[in-house]
Amino acid sequence: MIALKLLRNISVENGVPSFRANQIYHAVYKEGRSSYEAMNVLPLNLRELFTKIAPIFSVSEIGKSISKSGDTVKVLFKLHDNCKIEAVLMRFKDGRNTVCISCQVGCPMNCAFCATGKSGFKRNLTYEEITDQALYFEQYLNQTGSRIDHIVFMGMGEPMLNYDEVLKAIKVFNDPAAFNIGFRNQTVSTSGIVPGILKLIIDAPQVNLAVSLHAPNDILRKKLMPVAKTYPLHELMAACKKYTEETHRRITYEYVMLSGKNDTDLMAGELSNLLRDQLCHVNLIPFNEINIKGMKTSLKERIDTFAYILGINHIPVTIRVSLGKDIDAACGQLAGKHKAK
């Protein structure tokens, strides 16, 4: 969806009263209109004009998968240059409607356990392409009288490497005239881009921060996550400490559980020491298997023991319940491809 300011500029350039831009914005975000034809508030000539010069969506659906339980919907979108991205709607039992959105086409981080990184990197998304993923699901939910209430930047791409556009999108999501989603209901996840974390402290201190950690030491982390070669743990943890001290907000550390690699009792102890006395929460993520050689998920008993060790060391911890595994919509499975299900 193009910005309200741009709609107003288009109106002025075409001799249209500026209040029409407000009507269009309201029709899209508050009434769930997906086309100008459905905006009865506009006269026919303006519906035709705006249809030609100001498309509502910058993305178009070319594939949709719905999980057997019905709580997860994954959509494959095509962009103007035929690039493809994916986004996921997760409907939780507690009533939350969360959209996991992409910020890049592919991902340059190449983490060893993630399908998105294996697909390569093509380009950054614009903030319109980012917000339109959520707008699609907002209008999808509008049919049932529901709305999106949480946004997570955990889809394809590294948000901190498309920082400016992600920040613009965060502000659109927060705009009362648009999505009206509070900053505290938005989460930015990073693989550990230190400059981005430091910027977020200044630009959006109320937004939640999630850090993909996945290893408690640099030796293992460098094997799993190439970003660790640029931003080693001591730099990353210093940035995280600064974040908590200045924002007074808790960081979520994401830790994917990989059998025989990062799930031992020793690793749990190292992680406990690394995070001791920090304002944090650890989210243990059972690895969602995606046919990557040598990568298998930890057994449930191993994950439970790992969580127990963190707990007795006073590190808050939960084990994530992954939604949408049957449609390749769970953490680490997005790859810009689609299989009808």
Model pLDDT for residues 17-45, shown as the tens digit of each residue: 999 999 999 999 989 899 999 999 999 99
For residue 55, give the DSSP letter. -
Question: In CATH terms, are 4-53 and 60-327 the same topology?
Answer: no
Cβ neighbors of 125 (< 8 A, separation 6 or more) are: 79, 85, 102, 103, 104, 105, 157, 162, 165
pTM recorded for the entire structure: 0.91
For residue 183, give the DSSP letter. G
Helix (H, G, I), strand (E, B) or coil at 100: strand
Helix spans in 175-299 (H): 194-203, 218-224, 227-230, 233-247, 265-275
State the amino acid at position 188 in one-letter form: V
**Per annotation, catalytic residue among 86, 129, 165, 254:** 86
The structural domains of the chain, with segments of one domain joined by +, span 4-53, 60-327
**pLDDT, average across residues 189-205:** 98
CB half-sphere exposure, 240, CA atoms < 13 A? 29
Q: Based on the residue annotation, tell me whether 331 is a catalytic residue of this protein.
A: yes
pLDDT on residue 322: 67
Helix (H, G, I), strand (E, B) or coil at 105: strand
**pLDDT, average across residues 79-107:** 94
Q: Based on the residue annotation, tell me whether 100 is a catalytic residue of this protein.
A: no
CATH superfamily of 60-327: Aldolase class I (3.20.20.70)
What are the b/e assignments for 231-251, b being 16+ CB within 10 Å?
bebeebbebbeebbeebeeeb
Model pLDDT for residues 227-268, shown as the tens digit of each residue: 999 999 999 999 999 999 999 999 999 999 999 999 999 999
Model pLDDT for residues 114-155, shown as the tens digit of each residue: 888 877 899 999 999 999 999 999 999 988 889 999 999 999
CA-CA-CA-CA dihedral for 324, 271, 303, 213, to nearest 10: 20
**Per annotation, catalytic residue among 103, 107, 114, 331:** 331
Select the CATH number that applies to the domain covering 4-53 from these four: 2.60.120, 3.40.50, 3.50.70, 1.10.150.
1.10.150
